[in-house]
Amino acid sequence: MKRHIYRNEDGFSFEAGGRVETLEVAYHTSPMEYKKGMKVIWICHALTADSDAGDWWADLVGPGKLFDTDKYFVVCGNMIGSCYGSSGPSSIDPKTGKPYYFTFPKVTVRDIVNGLDEVRRHIGIDKIDFLVGASIGGFQAFEWSVMHPEIIGRAVYIATTSRISPWASALEESQRMALEADQTFRECASLQGGRKGLECARSIAMISYRCDDGYNLKQPELSDDTLFADRACSYQRYQGAKLADRFDAYSYYYLACSVSSNNLGRGRGGETAALGTIKMKTDLIAIDSDILFPPHEMEKIAERMPNATYHVITSHFGHDGFLLETKQLEQIIRPIVNEL
């Protein structure tokens, strides 16, 4: 996929207050130039992913694949608040010449979608034929489906929810607490601040992204005589360091806050009323072992939508099944894409 940067120099106002005079949103597209009449597939990415969906969803995105970048105009936009090219706390504040850190406005899911919709209009896309998002990408897909239903032909929401639950909110706060516990985080001396806190936050997150089955299958102790179990511990440390090598604590903090802002019914008469406005054909795909957004929650969401079909896929790996169980996802989504 081809990388682009959208730049808005007319200013951007945020739902929770605050404004930036210049907004940038990184996005990737199919390698060809968009022309009216092309079928558009828009992918909304998850928390610490970037807009290169062909990288993190390699089995599904690319030439000849489910989301065929030669056949369709495929787009994925990077979330506002991320450190992968879109404006956020790690961006340079033109007033100081230093990163914004905590002076960047708080970001909500609606802000993210407003930024993506600016990109859509910049490209010249009048209709998104197929919208898909998993996890926080699903938050965006739900929000977009309510904000601009007239532009969306079909939508699929994977391992996600229309309102953050107290359980998921507690998990996000635990990760923010881990960042705050690192004394270098609030110092804002460099974007390396809060690194150890970020490693810990990622460890907490991994427990919610996976499940006992996956850990027991992949991280068992190799000796019958183990004194102190360490294999899963080593895996947690590895995952923490791996994220800290590619992400910064400030962007993570802001995106964790945006997760907590997910409330489709805010200002719309409540969640049920908002879901009822999504009239297009939709599909909700839950993962049987997902403890972050459990199947029973997604099933209740589907029941409140006028034209929704509910599916469940199986996985040993919990919420991360949306990244790993690509064959099952394709079985459900392929017939939908073939109808575009």
Same domain, 250 and 207: yes
Residue finishing a domain among 209, 224, 258: 258
Please state, as a whole number, how many other Cβ atoms lie within 10 Å of the Cβ of residue 314. 10
Same domain, 269 and 243: no
What gap in Å lies between CA 209 and CA 292, rounded to an integer? 7
Return the pLDDT at 162.
Answer: 98
Q: Residue 24 belongs to what H/E stretch?
A: strand 23-29
User: Residues 3-18: what's their mean pLDDT?
Assistant: 98
Same domain, 159 and 213: no
Same domain, 88 and 237: no
Domain of residue 220, CATH code: 1.10.1740.110
Q: Residue 158 belongs to what H/E stretch?
A: strand 155-158
User: Residues 120-137: what's their mean pLDDT?
Assistant: 98
Same domain, 129 and 193: no
Radius of gyration of the chain (CA): 20
pLDDT digits (tens, 9 = 90+) for 52-93: 999 999 999 999 999 999 999 999 999 999 999 999 999 999
Same domain, 105 and 197: no
Same domain, 137 and 196: no
Q: Measuring CA to CA, how many Å separate 283 from each of 128, 151, 233?
A: 16, 17, 37
Q: Which residue has the tokens 């409140």?
A: 304
Residue 109: band (very low, low, confident or very high) from pLDDT cuts 50, 70, 90: very high
Same domain, 103 and 35: yes
Sequence-ordered alpha helix ranges (H) in the chain? 53-56, 109-123, 136-147, 166-180, 195-209, 212-218, 231-244, 249-260, 271-275, 295-303, 321-324, 326-338
Residue finishing a domain among 214, 243, 258: 258
263 DSSP 8-state letter: B
pLDDT digits (tens, 9 = 90+) for 264-291: 999 999 999 999 999 999 999 999 999 9
Kindly state the tokens that stand for 253.
Answer: 């903090």
**Which residues participate in catalysis according to the annotation?**
135, 290, 319
Percent of the chain with pLDDT over 90: 100
The residues, any chain, with a CB within 8 Å of residue 236's CB and separated by 6 or more, are: 203, 206
Answer for the pair 200, 284: CB distance below 8 angstroms, yes or no: no
User: Residues 129-158: what's their mean pLDDT?
Assistant: 98
What gap in Å lies between CA 39 and CA 125, rounded to an integer? 10
Answer for the pair 317, 219: CB distance below 8 angstroms, yes or no: no
| Number of domains, the chain | 2
Domain of residue 327, CATH code: 3.40.50.1820
Same domain, 54 and 41: yes
What gap in Å lies between CA 254 and CA 196, rounded to an integer? 17
The pairing of beta strand 282-287 with beta strand 92-93: unpaired
Residue finishing a domain among 230, 258, 286: 258
What gap in Å lies between CA 261 and CA 143, rounded to an integer? 11
User: Residues 206-234: what's their mean pLDDT?
Assistant: 96
Residue 322: band (very low, low, confident or very high) from pLDDT cuts 50, 70, 90: very high
pTM score of the predicted model: 0.97
Sequence-ordered alpha helix ranges (H) in 96-135? 109-123
Return the pLDDT at 234.
Answer: 97
Answer for the pair 276, 305: CB distance below 8 angstroms, yes or no: yes
* The CA-based dihedral angle spanning residues 139, 145, 147, 151, taken in that order and rounded to the nearest 10 degrees: 140
Same domain, 202 and 140: no
**What is the identity of the amino acid at 240?**
G
Closest CA to 75 of 113, 145, 19, 125: 125
Same domain, 159 and 267: yes
Report the half-sphere exposure of 135 (CA within 13 A, side-chain side): 22
Q: Which residue has the tokens 């073939």?
A: 338
pLDDT digits (tens, 9 = 90+) for 162-192: 999 999 999 999 999 999 999 999 999 999 9
DSSP string, 163-191: B--HHHHHHHHHHHHHHHTSTTTTT-SST
What gap in Å lies between CA 216 and CA 238, rounded to an integer? 17
Same domain, 239 and 267: no
What gap in Å lies between CA 72 and CA 340, rounded to an integer? 10
Answer for the pair 18, 105: CB distance below 8 angstroms, yes or no: yes
Closest CA to 54 of 35, 39, 68: 68
The pairing of beta strand 282-287 with beta strand 308-313: parallel
Domain boundaries, position 269? 2-164+263-338
